[in-house]
Amino acid sequence: MWQQERRYIKDPTAEAVLYQGRAVFAIALIVIVFLVIFSRYVYLQIFQYQRFKTESDNNRVHVQSLAPKRGLIYDRKGRLLAENISSQSLVLVRERVPDLDETLSRLQLLLAIDDDDIEDFRRRLKRQRPFEEVPLLFDLSEHQIAKVAVNIHTLPGVELQAQLVRYYPYGELFGHVIGYVGRINEREQKTLDLDNYAATYSIGKLGVEKYYESQLHGTVGYQNVETDVRGRILRVLDQTDPTPGKDLYLHLDVDMQRAGYEALAGRRGSVVAMNVKNGGLHAVVSSPSYDGNLFVNGISSKDYAALRDSRDLPLFNRSLQGQYPPASTVKPLIGMAGLHYGTVTPSTTVPDPGWYQLPNDTRFYRDWKRQGHAARISLADAVIESCDVYFYDLAYKLGIDKIHSFMDSFGFGRPTGVDLTSERGGLMPSREWKKRTQNLPWFPGETLNIGIGQGYMLATPMQLAAATVALANKGQWIQPRALNKLGDRELLPIRRDTYDVAPAHWDLIHSAMLDVTQGARGTARAAARGLSYDMSGKTGTAQVVGIAQGEEYDSESLALRKRDHALFVGYAPSQNPQIAVAVVIENAEHSSEAVKVARAVMDAFFLDENGEFKGVSQ
């Protein structure tokens, strides 16, 4: 082989020429290939410029929604009832998380997250905008924050975020009336303005928080931010500030609310205290209550079960949902109706043997006082002593139609329209109602029970308070309202006139109601002893179970939950009424218990720190 090659002589000149040819070819090749590369860059940088420019900006710039600061809620003396405090949440940005399932299961192990929370998170994820943070866990403990901080570098797309969350400094004191905010649920998501709630995770669920949701929430803001590949914000390019929600200044009064709540002392019941002049609600107590703070970050199923399963129904808002027989508290108004329609005069007297009988009826309608109040009793005394027989007679003479019409104008049988949630309307029965619901005619005997606020008649404590305000105002009904000022805008009360009753009739009833607390035979006399101002009112005890004909009522033998409800409605000061209060205590048996609660609430309004009457000033 080598021999064969050596026969050829190397020719350096030919080789140089050969190289030159190849070099020229190589240069041509270089130029052509460079042109190909050049055209590729032309394609990217000229023809695809717009597309990549947009993509680069999308990489760089992200729109972030900014949650507006929720409006604060104050009581009438400027004390905070609902505020926003800072808390740490764990958020994920879907686009930054390489493996969502793996990241979630790691976090679940790390922080002991419920499956429910994971499910909620996946639901929230569905309405996420690109590169938006979605919260996984709220209100992390110090311990959890530390755990996340240690591991965060191995968890791309996971971040800790400071957020403002709702806090209720008075906890269960205002549980029902302020309500609470909670995480937006699936149903709410369907009806919400999703743009405005893009950065908002909670929404008012009950009470003032729900009723004034749109005012409290405010308007969402936006910012364009430049982020790096891990989603960290490097700078804010431009920003549209969110508009904070409006602050609410309520009529509610921490002192009066607390007085009512503490006076109830855990018993089941309700206190509603209303301003006679403007309808403002100073206290709306429902006992037992709950702490709204439990719900803000999602209540644990254990806590919720405890509330839901309690026999005392703490989640039940007795002030608005509790429909009770108003019992004898209706007597002043029934009496007023009698005077107004001329059915009775101030001097009309009725015999009271302790029972009442309708003509051609063998049934006995008993007075709560077995032996009767007096041989003959007048309207004033019947109110003071709460005589049933007088009102059986009066109701029978008035008839259901007049009673219904008169009581309806004082707001019985329909919701007051208070600015709180889940209000019920009670029941003011009528012929039409009975025909419609039971397809039966109205029987005269049924009217008798209405005369003493029993039978079909039901009213909420809110309705009782509003009716008492109308009574104190000599016929002017005012819609109860928790809100006084929205931001700096003061709200005007909504008033409605009831019947134009002669002033003399009002005076008679008012004076009888004063004697309920001050008269020698007044039913609230003992409980009102020592008051430093005049309080007018009317007691009531509502039967919870029907007493069969001829059966003796024996409270000792009745189970605790079958005992009578104690009621009281009242206003003060009697000559120039400022405050009206309605109290219901379930199964408290003695109306004096309700009087004491009403008195505690009034004291909180009228007395100074030394227990002296402050006088009447608004």
Partner 1 sequence: MSQDEFVRQMPISNGASSLRASMWQRLHIDPALLLLLLILTAVGLMVLYSASGQSLATVKRQAVFFAIAYSAMFFVAQINVDMMRRWSPFVYVVGLALLVAVLIAGTGAKGAQRWLQIGGFRFQPAEIMKLIMPLATAWFLADRVLPPRLKDVALSLAIALIPAVLIFKQPDLGTAILVSAAGLFCLFFAGLSWRYIAAVGGLFATAVPIMWFFVMHEYQKRRVLTLFDPESDRLGAGWNIIQSMTAIGSGGVEGKGYLQGSQSALNFLPESHTDFIIAVLAEEFGLLGVVGLLFLYLLILVRGLVIGMSAQSTFARLVAGAISMTFFVYIVVNMGMVSGILPVVGVPLPLVSQGGTSLVTLMMGFGILMAISTEQRRLSH
Interacting residue ranges for partner 1, rule: CB under 8 A? 1, 5, 8-10, 12-20, 22-23, 26-27, 30-31, 33-34, 36-38, 40-42, 44-46, 48-49, 51-53, 55-57, 59-60, 98, 226-230, 234
Q: At what angle do helices 591-606 and 254-264 cross, to 10 degrees?
A: 160
Count Cβ atoms below 10 Å from residue 532 Cβ, excluding itself: 12
Q: How far is the CB of 123 from partner 1 (least distance, A)?
A: 24
Residue 269: which of 415, 461, 413 has the closest Cα?
Answer: 461
My answer on whether omega of the bond before 68 falls inside 30° of 0, hence cis, is no
CA 516, CA 447: separation in Å to the nearest integer? 25
CA 354, CA 366: separation in Å to the nearest integer? 6
Q: How far is the CB of 69 from partner 1 (least distance, A)?
A: 30
Q: Which residues contact 317 (CB under 8 A, 6 or more apart)?
A: 176, 206, 286, 422
CA 584, CA 369: separation in Å to the nearest integer? 22
Q: Could you please report the per-residue DSSP string of 236-272?
A: EEEEEPPBPPPPEEES--HHHHHHHHHHHTT-SEEEE
Q: Among the options 287, 319, 328, 409, which is catalytic?
A: 328
Q: How far is the CB of 2 from partner 1 (least distance, A)?
A: 10
Q: How far is the CB of 237 from partner 1 (least distance, A)?
A: 11
Residue 328 appears among annotated catalytic residues: yes
Q: Among residues 92 and 407, whose Cβ is nearest to partner 1? A: 92
**CA dist list (Å): 239 to 95, 236, 506, 512:** 23, 7, 62, 66
Q: Among residues 226 and 408, whose Cβ is nearest to partner 1? A: 226
Q: Which residue has the tokens 């005077």?
A: 339
Q: Among residues 14 and 109, whose Cβ is nearest to partner 1? A: 14
3-state secondary structure 272-291: EEEECCCCEEEEEEEECCCC
CA 39, CA 120: separation in Å to the nearest integer? 51
Q: Among residues 95 and 195, whose Cβ is nearest to partner 1? A: 95
3-state secondary structure 490-508: ECCCCEEECCCCCHHHHHH
Q: Among residues 55 and 612, whose Cβ is nearest to partner 1? A: 55
Radius of gyration of the chain (CA): 38
Q: Among residues 17 and 502, whose Cβ is nearest to partner 1? A: 17
Q: Among residues 40 and 496, whose Cβ is nearest to partner 1? A: 40
Q: Which residues are catalytic?
A: 328
